[in-house]
Amino acid sequence: MLTGRTAVITGGAQGIGYAIARTFADNGALVVIGDLDEAKAKEAAASLGTEALGVGCNVVSSDDVATLLDRAVESFGSLDVMVNNAGITRDATMRKMTEQQFDDVISVHLRGCWNGTRLAAGIMRENGGGSIINLSSISGKVGFIGQTNYSAAKAGIVGLTKAAAKEVAHLGVRINAIQPGLIRTAMTEAMPQKAWDQKMSEIPMQRAGEPSEIASVALFYASNLSSYMTGTVAEVTGGRYM
């Protein structure tokens, strides 16, 4: 479905980002993984078993993101798909959260996503179009205790996606967002059993999602199957908070 297309995934060395990279590679894409840990980015790219590149990138830095995209174009000749997935958590209640914890999460998620969206769109609009996929979260729809920073950032990504989509739709650049729910990753499986059970009780499908189930939706958005969709938000949550 993506044969001959170049796809860049930030935060692609592990978790959902890696699952997206794997799915894209399996569907013929030339994959570029950007990650804060350059060694892990290169290791992840090598493990795909296809033509892929791993690049160190701090998404908060527009220079880093520009370099990442330049490497993709220089290596593979185009930029067709951009997935803004990089993120961190610094959970704490408002009473205990520091300004640094708030700023760090907003910077990585929201500024990082803005950097990736605007720079990728700048390249794509000159080359006839492309698809940009931004990772939000159900936390951006509902708001969770201890996540005023994360929920604000993830809600902001939805607004950013819709505003940016309107700016570049006439140039063939599509921008959509995905809101994952409880997905089984190393990070979520490390949470206390009580917290896991509480989240599970909120899911009508009565199970956590797998990273591959987010990746398949990203594949849909990256491919021609979603050619008439832009500015949309896909909730991949098992029905949680529908």
Q: What is the pLDDT of residue 185?
A: 87
Catalytic residue among 18, 150, 228, 241: 150
Amino acid at 3: T
Q: What is the pLDDT of residue 188?
A: 83
Q: What is the pLDDT of residue 163?
A: 98
Q: Does residue 202 belong to any structural domain of this protein?
A: yes
Domain count within the chain:
1
Q: Does residue 242 belong to any structural domain of this protein?
A: no
Q: What is the pLDDT of residue 102?
A: 97
Q: Region 4-30: what's the mean pLDDT? A: 97
Q: Does residue 12 belong to any structural domain of this protein?
A: yes
Amino acid at 4: G
Compute the distance between CA of residue 186 and CA of residue 163 in angstroms, rounded to an integer.
33
Q: Does residue 45 belong to any structural domain of this protein?
A: yes
241 counts as catalytic = no
Query: Domain of 73: which CATH number?
Result: 3.40.50.720
Q: What are phi and psi of 193, to 5 degrees?
A: -60, -40
Give yes or no for a contact between 140 and 93, defined as CB atoms under 8 angstroms apart: no
Tokens of 17: 């980002």
Q: What is the pLDDT of residue 178?
A: 98
Residue 186 pLDDT exceeds 90: no
**Which phi-psi region, left, alpha or beta, contains residue 7 (left: φ > 0; alpha: ψ -120 to 50)?**
beta
The string of pLDDT tens digits covering residues 120-170 is: 999 999 999 999 999 999 999 999 999 999 999 999 999 999 999 999 999
Neighbours of 18 (CB within 10 A): 24
Q: Does residue 231 belong to any structural domain of this protein?
A: yes
Q: Does residue 229 belong to any structural domain of this protein?
A: yes
Residue 24 pLDDT exceeds 90: yes
Amino acid at 47: S
Task: State percent of the chain over pLDDT 70.
Answer: 100
Q: Does residue 241 belong to any structural domain of this protein?
A: no
| Residue-number span of the structural domain to which 89 is assigned | 6-236
Q: Does residue 186 belong to any structural domain of this protein?
A: yes
